[in-house]
Structure 1
Amino acid sequence: MSASIASSVTGTRPPTPTTAVPDVVRPYRFQWDPSNRLPGPESVTSDGRGVDAIPQLGNLNLNFSSTNLSLGSVPEEWSSAKHGFNAISTVLNNPHKPQDPPKAHHPLPSVPPAELPRVRRKDFDPYLSSISDEWARFETAHRNTEAGPSTPQHLPPLDSVPSVFFSTDFSLTDAATFAAVTDNEDPTSLAHSLPLIEKLSHYADVVETHLTHEISERSSSFFAALHNLNHLHAESTQCLTQIANLRAMLEDVDDNVAKRGLQVVQRETRIHEIREVSVAVEKVSSVVELSARARSLPWHEALDVVDRLEKSWNPPVGEAEAEGNGLSVPLSALDAFSVLPDHLRTLTLEITSSLSTELSSALKTDLFSRIRGSASEDALKRTSEPLVAGLTRTKGIREAILSWREVALSEISTLVPENLKELPQPEFLDALRTTFDTILKALDALHVQGIVVGQVLQATQSNQETLQDDFTDLVGSATELAHSSLAKIVSARADKHIALPLPEFDAFFSATWSFVISCEVACKRMVVSLRAAAVAQGKTWLQAFHQSRLTQSAKLVEDELWNPKETAGIVQTTVDRIVESAVRDVKEDRPMKPAGKMLQIEERNYFTVHATSDVLLLLADYLMVIVNLDMLITDTMSRAIEFLKAFNSRTCQVVLGAGAMRSAGLKNITAKHLALASQSLSIMISLIPYVRETFRRHLSAKQAVMLVEFDKLKRDYQEHQNEIHAKLVAIMGDRLSAHIKTLKVVDWNSPKAGVNDYMELLMKETVTLNKVLSRYLAPAIVQDVMTQVFAAINHRLSGEYAKIELPSLEAKERLLADARYLRERMTGMQGMGGALQMLETVVQEK
Structure 2
Amino acid sequence: MQRRSPEHSSGVVPAGSGRRSGNRPDVRPSIAHEPSNNSNRWKVCDICSIQWKSPSEFALHLREKHCTKEGGSFVCRYGTHGICPSLPLEGVSDKDYEFHVARDHIADYDYTSKLNPELAQQSRMTNQTPSIVSDQLKWTFHSSSVNLPAVLNDPRKSRREHDFFTKTWGEGFVEKTVIAPSPYLPVITKAHFEKYLNRTANKLKSHKVQSSLQQSVPRIPVATDKSRLELEQIPKMFFRGDFALENPETFQAVLPWSQFKNRGAGQSSKLLQEKLSHYLDLVEVELARQISQRSTAFFTAMASHDQLQDRLISTCTAIKGLRERIMEVDDVLAKRSLETLSYKVSRVNHVKVFNKLKLMATVHQTQPTIQLLLSTSEFVGALDLISTTQEVLTQELSGIQSFRHLGSQLIELEKLIDKMMHEEFVRFATADLTRPLDEEAGPDEEKLSSIILGLLRQHKFSFLDDYKDECTTAIKAIVKQTVVDAVSEADSIDVEGNLGSLADQMRLLNFTEWLQMFQNVFTNLAKFLSRVKMTWDVMNKLIDFAAGHNAHAGNETADNTEPGEPQLNSTNVNGSKDDKCPQARVPSPLTFLKVSDVDILIAPVEHQRLNTVLKEVLVMLCDYAHDRSLKLLIARGKDGFLEKLSSSEFVSLSRSVETFVSQCEAVSGRRSNSLRGGLQNQANKFVNRFHEERKTKMSLLLDNERWKQAEVPANFQDLLSAMAKGEISLDLLARMDQGNEERKSAEYVEINGGKYAVIGTVLMLLKMVAEYCQCVEDIPSVTIDILTRLIEIFQNFNSRSCQLVLGAGALQLVGLKTITTKNLGLASRCLQLIGLYIPIVKEFFAARLLPRQMMVLRSFDKILKDYNDHVQEISNKLIAIMDDTFMHCLSKWEVKAPVPSLTFREICKRIRKIHEAIVDILPPEQIKDLFVQMNTSFKTHLKKQLITLNVTNDGGPQHGLVTSELVFYTECVQLTSGLDKLDNMNDIWVRR
Larger radius of gyration: 1
549, 554, 563: which one pairs with 2:699? 554
- Separation (CA, whole Å) in 1 of partners of 2:838 and 2:513: 39
Preserved contact between residue 674 and residue 724 of structure 1 (Cα < 8 Å): yes
Counterpart of 2:537?
451
- Separation (CA, whole Å) in 1 of partners of 2:909 and 2:268: 185
Preserved contact between residue 798 and residue 842 of structure 1 (Cα < 8 Å): yes
Q: TM-score, normalised by structure 2?
A: 0.52
| TM alignment of 1:184-583, pairs within 5 A | 287=364, 290=367, 294=371, 298-300=375-377, 307-315=384-392, 320=396, 328-329=397-398, 335-337=404-406, 339-365=408-434, 368-369=435-436, 371-372=437-438, 374-377=439-442, 380-381=444-445, 384-388=448-452, 391=455, 396=460, 398-417=461-480, 419=503, 420=506, 423-455=509-541, 458=545, 459=554, 460=596, 461=598, 469-492=612-635, 493=637, 495-581=640-726
CA 1:695–1:85 in structure 2 vs 1: closer, same or farther (change >3 Å)? same
Q: Residue 472 of structure 2 aligns to which amino acid in structure 1?
A: L
Which string of whole-angstrom CA distances, capped at 9 and with x for unpartnered residues, describes residues 581-627 of structure 1? Answer: 3xx66455576674322112232221110111111111112211221
CA 1:313–1:824 in structure 2 vs 1: closer, same or farther (change >3 Å)? closer
- Separation (CA, whole Å) in 2 of partners of 1:296 and 1:712: 82
SS at match of 1:564: coil
SS at match of 1:669: coil
Preserved contact between residue 718 and residue 732 of structure 2 (Cα < 8 Å): no
595, 614, 617: which one pairs with 2:764? 614
1:817 deviates by: 6.0
Q: Residue 490 of structure 1 aligns to which amino acid in structure 2?
A: L
Preserved contact between residue 642 and residue 686 of structure 2 (Cα < 8 Å): yes
1:691 deviates by: 0.6
- Separation (CA, whole Å) in 2 of partners of 1:135 and 1:815: 184
1:85 partnered with 2:162: no
Q: Residue 975 of structure 2 aligns to which amino acid in structure 1?
A: G
Preserved contact between residue 483 and residue 529 of structure 1 (Cα < 8 Å): yes
CA 1:220–1:533 in structure 2 vs 1: closer, same or farther (change >3 Å)? farther
Moved more, 494-503 or 710-719: 494-503
Which string of whole-angstrom CA distances, capped at 9 and with x for unpartnered residues, describes residues 401-446 of structure 1? Answer: 4322211121123333463556443332222222222222222222
Q: Residue 711 of structure 1 aligns to which amino acid in structure 2?
A: D
Preserved contact between residue 654 and residue 679 of structure 2 (Cα < 8 Å): yes
- Which consecutive residues of structure 2, in runs of 5 or more, have no partner in the other structure? 1-221, 236-242, 257-265, 284-352, 481-501, 546-553, 555-595
| TM alignment of 1:404-803, pairs within 5 A | 404-417=467-480, 419=503, 420=506, 423-455=509-541, 458=545, 459=554, 460=596, 461=598, 469-492=612-635, 493=637, 495-581=640-726, 586-589=729-732, 594=743, 595-741=745-891, 743=893, 755-800=900-945, 803=948
Q: Residue 507 of structure 1 aligns to which amino acid in structure 2?
A: S
Moved more, 769-778 or 638-647: 638-647
Counterpart of 1:268?
none
Counterpart of 2:57?
none
Which string of whole-angstrom CA distances, capped at 9 and with x for unpartnered residues, describes residues 630-664 of structure 1? Answer: 22222322222222122111111111111111222
CA 1:503–1:296 in structure 2 vs 1: closer, same or farther (change >3 Å)? closer
SS at match of 1:314: helix
- Which consecutive residues of structure 1, in runs of 5 or more, have no partner in the other structure? 1-47, 63-77, 94-132, 143-215, 226-275, 321-327
SS at match of 2:893: helix
SS at match of 2:808: coil
Q: Residue 480 of structure 1 aligns to which amino acid in structure 2?
A: D
Q: Residue 725 of structure 2 aligns to which amino acid in structure 1?
A: E
CA 1:425–1:297 in structure 2 vs 1: closer, same or farther (change >3 Å)? closer
Q: Which has the higher contact order (CA 8 A, sep 6+)?
A: 1
CA 1:335–1:667 in structure 2 vs 1: closer, same or farther (change >3 Å)? same
1:563 deviates by: 0.4
Which string of whole-angstrom CA distances, capped at 9 and with x for unpartnered residues, describes residues 71-117 of structure 1? Answer: xxxxxxx999xx66252556999xxxxxxxxxxxxxxxxxxxxxxxx
Q: Residue 478 of structure 2 aligns to which amino acid in structure 1?
A: L
CA 1:305–1:716 in structure 2 vs 1: closer, same or farther (change >3 Å)? closer
CA 1:86–1:740 in structure 2 vs 1: closer, same or farther (change >3 Å)? same
Q: Residue 431 of structure 1 aligns to which amino acid in structure 2?
A: M
Preserved contact between residue 314 and residue 332 of structure 1 (Cα < 8 Å): no
Percent identity, please: 20
- Separation (CA, whole Å) in 2 of partners of 1:454 and 1:219: 106
- Separation (CA, whole Å) in 1 of partners of 2:804 and 2:281: 149
Q: Relative to total residues, which structure has the larger helix share, 1 or 2?
A: 1
Q: Residue 413 of structure 1 aligns to which amino acid in structure 2?
A: K
Which string of whole-angstrom CA distances, capped at 9 and with x for unpartnered residues, describes residues 341-385 of structure 1? Answer: 4312222123212431343134314xx44x32x3124x6435545
Q: Residue 481 of structure 1 aligns to which amino acid in structure 2?
A: Y
CA 1:288–1:821 in structure 2 vs 1: closer, same or farther (change >3 Å)? same
Which string of whole-angstrom CA distances, capped at 9 and with x for unpartnered residues, describes residues 296-337 of structure 1? Answer: 96254787666444422232887x4xxxxxxx4477995434
- Separation (CA, whole Å) in 2 of partners of 1:297 and 1:434: 42
- Separation (CA, whole Å) in 2 of partners of 1:301 and 1:681: 84
SS at match of 1:775: coil
- Separation (CA, whole Å) in 2 of partners of 1:743 and 1:376: 105
CA 1:50–1:303 in structure 2 vs 1: closer, same or farther (change >3 Å)? farther
- Separation (CA, whole Å) in 2 of partners of 1:223 and 1:564: 165
How many aligned residue pairs are there?
Answer: 594
1:53 deviates by: 7.3
CA 1:467–1:735 in structure 2 vs 1: closer, same or farther (change >3 Å)? same
- Separation (CA, whole Å) in 1 of partners of 2:732 and 2:614: 45
